[in-house]
Amino acid sequence: MVEEVQTIEPGETARTAAIRLEEIEAGSLVVANDGPVGIVTEKDIVSVLANGHDPSTVDLDKGMYRLSTRVFDDDGMVIDGLATVMVEDAN
C-alpha cells in the first residue's frame, strides 16, 4: 500500500483509474490538473459498471466527486483551499 497522495488526470478513463487503484492497493485517487479538482473512488468505478457504461470510455471528469475548497471549522469560519493544502502537505 502507498502512503503518499496518488493523483490521476481528469482526462483519464475510469478503466485507467481502476487499474491504478488495483496496482497501488488504494480505494481512491485525487484527480488533479495543476492542483486537485476532485476524487475518484472504487465506488465511482462500480457505479460506472452498474449503470452499464464501458469504463474505458468514461472520462474521470464526468464521474468523480468535485473537491470542495470551502470547509468550515468548528466555529463556522471558512477554511479556503483545504484540498490544496491537504495535497501539498502530503508531498
What is the block-wise mean pLDDT of the chain (91 residues), using blocks of 10 residues?
A: 81 94 92 84 88 90 58 55 54 50
Residues in a beta bridge with 72? 78
- The answer to whether 55 touches 48, Cβ cutoff 8 Å, is yes
Task: Supply 38's cell numbers.
Answer: 476532485
CB proximity list for 62: less than 8 A, separation 6 or greater: none
Sequence length of the chain is 91
* Structural domain 7-90, CATH architecture: Roll (3.10)
